[in-house]
Structure 1
Amino acid sequence: MRRFRFLLSRRWALFAVAIVVVAWATWWLGNWQFDRLDDRQETNRVVERNENLEPAPVADVLSPGGDVPDDQEWRVVTATGEYAVEDTVIVRYRTRDGQSGIEVVVPLVTADGTALVVDRGWLATENRGGDASGVPAPPSGEVTITGYVRADGTGDSTKVVDGSTRAVSSTEIGEAIGRPTYGGFVDLRSEDPEPAEALTPRALPEQDNGPHFFYGLQWWFFGLLAIFGFLYLAYDELKRGAPGQRGPRGKRPPRPKADPRTGKRPPRPPREPQSARSAPPSTGSMTPETNDAAGDSRNAAARPNSSGRP
C-alpha cells in the first residue's frame, strides 16, 4: 500500500476531486440531452397525430382563461368572428433566415364576446415596437379562420408594453386590451375570406430527432475520457515511483550530522557509481599520436592515409 501513498498527497487529491466533478457534470449533461430527445420525440408524435385530425371548433379544445393540454398543442381548430384591428399587438425581434422582422397578433372576437388570440404571421421589417402602421390589414367583417393551437409563453418576455411584446400570452394580451380571451393562442393557417396581402405563416416544427442523441453520447465520452486520463496518469506515476521515494541517480548522499558527544562526523557514504550506460567512452589515451614525417607538425594528431596506415 505504500506505493499508493502518492494518491493521498494534496496535488493528487485535488486532481481526483476535479475529475469526479467533471465526470458528474458530463453524466448530467448527457442525461439532459437524452431527456431533450424524449421531449422532441413526444412533440413529434403529438404534431403528427393532431395535424391529421379534422379541424375542431375552438370551444371544443380551448376554454376562456384555461391552459392548453399537452396533447392538444398543434391541434387544428376553427373559429368565426371579427378581427379587433385596433387591439393589434406586435411581437418584436422575430428573425427568420437571418432577416429581421415581427409577428402580427390580432384578437378575433367571437360571437359570445370571447377573443381568440391569433398570430397572423411574420412580416419582414425593421423592429418598430408597437407601431402597427404599414402592417397588412386582415380581412374585414366576419372571418372564419383555421389554425394550430399553441400554449402561452411564460416569463417577463410576455409583458405587453405600448402594444408590443416579446412572446405571446393570451393572459397578458387579454389584460392589455381589456377583453376576455381563450387560453392559449392560434398560429394562423387559413382565413376566409382571404386578405388582400397575406403574412408569412409560421411553419410546423421539423419532425426529426435533432442532434440530442449524439450530443448525449459526446458528453458521456468526455466523462469517460477524463476518468481514463486520471487512471493513466496514476499508473504512470506508480510505475515511475512516487516523488521522494528515490533520489537522483549519480549524486553523492548528504554528509551525516556530527555526533553530539564526540563532535565527530561519521564518514560520508560513497557516491553512487555512475552507470556504464551514462559514462563517457574511453579513448584509451589522452595524448594524441604524432607524425614525425618531414613537413608534418610534431604536435599534430596522426591521420590514416588511403592505405589505412599512418
Structure 2
Amino acid sequence: MQYSQHAIGDRAPRGLAAAFRPGLAPTLVVLALLPLLVALGCWQLARASEKRAMLATADARREATPIPAAQLDALRDDPAYVRVRLQGRFDAEHSLLLDNRTRDGVAGVEVLQPFHDNASGLWLLVNRGWVAWTNRRQPPAIATPAQDLLLDAWVYVAPAGGLQLSDKPSQGWPKLITRVEPAAIWSAVGRDGLPLELRLEPGDAAFDSNWPVVAVSPERHTGYAVQWFAMSGALLGLYLYLGIRRARENARHEPQPDPR
C-alpha cells in the first residue's frame, strides 16, 4: 500500500506543538509573573543573609568592652552597635518623644534627651527607651535624674529606606517627632552634638530598653522566600497542566487522517 507524501506529513508526530498548547494569553501571564516571583524569592533570601550578618555584627560588638565617648568621632564610617561608656548628665529641658512606638500592643513613645559627657565634653543624643502613652491628652510622665550618671549605651544606625513621615513644627518642649534626625535635633536644641543616636542599655536612667536588633528576623525572610518560590512553582505547574490538557482536547476534536 502506498501513501502520499502529504498523508505521511499529516500523520507524523508534531512534537511539542502537538503535546503542549498553552495558548498565547497564559504564556504572556507566565512570562510576566514567573520572573517576578522568582526575583522576589531571591530578594528575600538576600535579605535573610543581610540580617544574619547584621545580627552577627551586633552580637560581636555588643559583647565588646565599651569605648570612651571621645572615640566615637573616629568611628563615623561604621559606628553601628558599638558600645559606649558615658559619664555625665541629661539635659532634662530638651526632651523628644519618638511617636508611633508600640510594645505588646500598647501605644507609647521612645524618650530621647541630650546628654553631656564630662570626659570628652561632647553632647550626645541618648535614647532612654520606651514608655507607655495611652492618654494622648497629657504628656507622658518622664523623670530625669539630676545627678551625674555612669551609663553604657550602644550606637543605633537606622536602616536605609522605608516610609518616613515629616514632622510638624512644634513649639515648646518636649517635642513630638516621628523620626530621629540628629542634625535637625541639635539645631533645634541649639548645640553642636554628634550626629548619632545612642540607645541605653538596661540600668540607671533607662526605661524599657529591650530593642530588637532587626524588625524582621532572617527566619521570616526565609519563610517569605519559600512562599514566593512555592507560588512560582504553582504557577509553572498550572501552566504546564493547562497546556497539556488543552493539547489533548484539541487532539480529540481534530479530524483523524484516513488510514487508507
Please give the TM-score of this superposition, normalised by the length of structure 1.
Answer: 0.66
The letter of the residue matching 1:22 is L
Q: Which whole-Å deviations, capped at 9, do the CAs of 1:78-112 have from their partners, x for residues lacking one?
A: 12232111111111121110011111111102346
Q: 1:142 Cα shift?
A: 2.4
Aligned-residue identity in percent: 20
- Equivalent of 2:133, from 125, 132, 142? 125
Q: Specify whether residues 167 and 233 from structure 1 end up closer, same or farther in structure 2 by C-alpha distance, changes over 3 A only.
A: same
- Equivalent of 1:107, from 105, 109, 114? 114
Counterpart check, 1:173 vs 2:185:
yes
Tell me the equivalent position of 1:183: 195
Q: Specify whether residues 44 and 153 from structure 1 end up closer, same or farther in structure 2 by C-alpha distance, changes over 3 A only.
A: closer
Asked if the contact 2:106/2:134 (under 8 Å) is kept, the reply is no
Segment of structure 1 superposing worse, 138-147 or 202-211: 202-211
How far apart, CA to CA, are the structure 1 residues paired with 2:68 and 2:167? 29
Asked if the contact 2:47/2:218 (under 8 Å) is kept, the reply is no
Q: Which whole-Å deviations, capped at 9, do the CAs of 1:231-250 have from their partners, x for residues lacking one?
A: 22111111222697459xxx
The DSSP-based 3-state class of the residue aligned with 1:20 is helix
Higher strand share: 2
Tell me the equivalent position of 1:138: 144
Tell me the equivalent position of 2:80: 73
Structure 1 residues not aligned, in runs of 5+? 248-310
Tell me the equivalent position of 2:24: 13
Matches within 5 A, 1:1-310: 1=14, 4=17, 12-62=23-73, 67=76, 69=78, 72-111=79-118, 114-126=122-134, 128=136, 132=139, 134-152=140-158, 156-157=164-165, 159=167, 161-162=169-170, 163-189=175-201, 194-195=204-205, 199-205=207-213, 209-241=218-250, 245-246=254-255
The DSSP-based 3-state class of the residue aligned with 1:87 is coil
Q: 1:190 Cα shift?
A: 5.0
Q: Specify whether residues 127 and 43 from structure 1 end up closer, same or farther in structure 2 by C-alpha distance, changes over 3 A only.
A: farther
The DSSP-based 3-state class of the residue aligned with 2:102 is coil
CA RMSD across the alignment:
3.2
Structure 2 residues not aligned, in runs of 5+? 1-13
Q: 1:171 Cα shift?
A: 1.7
Q: 1:135 Cα shift?
A: 2.3
How far apart, CA to CA, are the structure 2 residues paired with 1:238 and 1:7? 5
Q: Specify whether residues 101 and 116 from structure 1 end up closer, same or farther in structure 2 by C-alpha distance, changes over 3 A only.
A: same
Asked if the contact 1:90/1:105 (under 8 Å) is kept, the reply is yes
How far apart, CA to CA, are the structure 2 residues paired with 1:21 and 1:212? 23
Asked if the contact 1:68/1:183 (under 8 Å) is kept, the reply is no
Higher helix share: 2
